[in-house]
Amino acid sequence: MRTLPGVSAALALAATITGCGAGAVQVPVPRPDVAAAELCKRLKLPDKVHGRTRREVSPQSTFTAAWGSPAIALRCGVPLPRHDMRAVIAVINGVQWLPTPEEKPVTFTAVGRKAYVEVTIPHSYTNGGSAPGEILMEFNPAIQAAMPEKPEGEL
């Protein structure tokens, strides 16, 4: 098994997103640049994802959100993952998603947009037959409305 740069960061993020109870979900807040922050503020997120209701996050931020328990977490304005991922990008209804790590994805980053959106999906949501793509599709309308695409071929 090969180790990809950025994989350990994605796994660390997955371990950091906590909150199996009724309290706030701990989601690390990204530090987007000014342009990405403005786009993230326009992101209109759903009240429910995969049938799960939205949860409070800690620390509170306009750049993070969470749904369900265990939490499906979103971070807007993250940096582009560092390794070359052109071969593993999945296009789901017009949005390009990069899975990290490649072998057992936990985190997916919407790329090819002027701001990057990252979604972390616990394995428990995909072990019962659901595909991550079903969950990611629920974010596509918000991403497509708020995040302009980059020129073709740019991640």
Residues 57, 53: Cα–Cα separation, whole Å: 13
CA angle 29, 31, 37 (to 5 degrees): 105
> What pLDDT, on a 0 to 100 scale, did the predictor assign at position 155?
87
User: 45 or 130, which is more confident?
Assistant: 45
Per the CB < 8 A criterion, the answer to whether 45 and 57 are in contact is no
SS3 category, 54:
strand
Q: What is the pTM of this model?
A: 0.84
How many CB atoms are closer than 10 A to CB 100? 24
> What pLDDT, on a 0 to 100 scale, did the predictor assign at position 11?
39
pLDDT tens, residue by residue, 3-31? 334 433 443 454 455 545 568 999 999 99
pLDDT tens, residue by residue, 56-106? 999 999 999 999 999 999 999 999 887 665 568 889 999 999 988 766 778
Residue with tokens 């950091």: 16
State the amino acid at position 79 in one-letter form: P
Please state whether 119 falls in left (phi above 0), alpha (psi between -120 and 50) or beta. beta
